[in-house]
Amino acid sequence: MPVQVDFDYITIVLHQPRLAENIGATARAAWNMGLHRLIVVNPEDTDWERMSKLATHVASGSWKK
């Protein structure tokens, strides 16, 4: 019997990511898998425009700056 996973209890944490593009790509991957919580701790690059280029429009629109 398949096990149900409650994605509300899963959070992805990026610690000191170097590139804004990595944050955007992670947001996109998380959203595609049904994960909606991403925490970014002490990023080196916070260029929101570059992040948005790799994230989906839905994922980038839900970011809290």
pLDDT tens sequence across 23-63: 999 999 998 898 989 999 999 988 888 888 888 766 555 55
Phi-psi region of 42 (alpha: psi -120 to 50; beta: other; left: phi over 0): left
* Residue 5 binned pLDDT confidence (cut-offs 50, 70, 90): confident
Confidence at residue 50, expressed as pLDDT on a 0 to 100 scale:
86
To which residue do tokens 């944490």 refer? 13
